[in-house]
Amino acid sequence: MNYSDLTVWIIIAGIGAGSWALRFSFMGLLGDRVLPQWVMRHLRYTAVAIIPGLIAPMILLAPAGANAPDPARMAAAAVTLGVGVWSKNIFAALACGAAVFAVLLNVAS
């Protein structure tokens, strides 16, 4: 699609205003209030819910032009999950998953 410069800047400004409004609704309006314990308990799991939601499509969906998910990504995700559960160390899990992914990409090409 071809957008004019003005249209692009209007879109950027709209996204920025929406982002600001979303953040302000929590930090500006609720920032100085004590939230109920049940809300705080649910907010603890926000990152735990969002991060898999961002990563899962990259792992499970087939890359462009492929008919099936990439085995290298699936194996790297499995190793990352396994090492993370076993060691309880995020850095070890990320390092092992990245190493498996790099090795499998080099073997495949």
- 55-104 pLDDT, tens per residue? 888 888 877 777 788 889 999 999 999 999 999 999 999 999 999 999 99
Answer yes or no: are the C-beta atoms of 97 and 77 closer than 8 Å.
Answer: yes
| Domain of 81, in residue numbers | 36-108
pLDDT per position as a tens digit, 36-55:
899 889 888 888 888 888 88
Tokens of 14: 């709209």
SS3 63: coil
pTM of this structure: 0.60
CA atoms within 13 A on the CB side of 18: 6
Q: Do 20 and 55 reside in the same domain of the chain? A: no
Instruction: Report how many domains make up the chain.
Output: 2
On whether both 59 and 97 belong to a single domain, the answer is yes
The rounded radius of gyration (Å) of the Cα atoms in the chain is 20
Name every residue whose Cβ is closer than 8 Å to that of residue 79 and which is 6 or more positions away in sequence.
96, 97, 100
41 and 74, same domain (yes or no): yes
22 and 52: one domain? no
What is the pLDDT, as a whole number, of residue 47?
83
